[in-house]
Amino acid sequence: MRTAAAALLCWIAWIASTGALDPVGLAAGAAASAAAALALRREGAEAGLVLLHPVRLFWALVYLPVLLAFIVRSNLDVARRVIDPRLPIRPGIAKARTTLRSLPARAALANSVTLTPGTMSVDLVGDVLYVHRIWVPEEDPDGATRRELEPFEGLLRRIFE
């Protein structure tokens, strides 16, 4: 039942994005949607369905500009380092624990960290996030990484938990 609903949703998205109303286009879309829904049936993709709630959607919309601001800052930061003739980098992998509990929230946090200045998620093991930093601070690199998670965790908790 849930798979059928997912396939229907995919099909509607297909039709909306292709604008193809001829029989061949509709049939191809139906086949692709069914295949996608079946392939993802056991992958826990329905965890994302919690987003279909007005309050959560509202916080997701608040999250977008916050993330966008981080992406822009992050780009300027990398651009500055890359252009600088001295190439000021001090790389390494730090770690930090996240307080988020649900899997989609943790996944979103890891992806957000990758898009923020000078940090990239390497792996998430349980609640420990391993983060590659382009600049590792002299003192307490893990604490610094931990503090960088905080602005995201509050919003992600409202969205996913």
Partner 1 sequence: MTDPSGPREIAAFALMAAGVGFDLLGCVGLVRLPDVYNRLQAGTKCVTLGTFLLLLGVILLSGLDAMGWKALLCLAFLSVTSPTAAHAIARAAHRSGVPLAPGSVLDRYAEDGEGREGPEPAGGPSGDAGEGRP
Q: Supply 13's token pair.
A: 């998205």
- Binding track over 8-47 against partner 1, x by CB under 8 A: --------xxxx----------------------------
What residues from 73 to 92 belong to the interface with partner 1 (CB under 8 A)? Answer: 74-75, 78-79, 81-83, 87, 89-92
CB contact at 8 A, 35 and 27? no
Q: Which DSSP symbol is given to 95?
A: E
What residues from 101 to 130 belong to the interface with partner 1 (CB under 8 A)? Answer: 110-112, 114-115, 118-123, 125, 128, 130
Interaction of residue 52 with partner 1, rule CB under 8 A: no
State how far the Cα of 142 lies from the Cα of 103, in Å rounded to an integer.
Answer: 22
State how far the Cα of 18 lies from the Cα of 45, in Å rounded to an integer.
Answer: 24
Q: Specify burial of residue 22 (Cβ count, 10 A radius: 0-12, 13-18, 19+).
A: exposed
Residues that bind partner 1 (CB under 8 A): 16-19, 67, 71-72, 74-75, 78-79, 81-83, 87, 89-95, 110-112, 114-115, 118-123, 125, 128, 130, 132-134, 136, 141-142
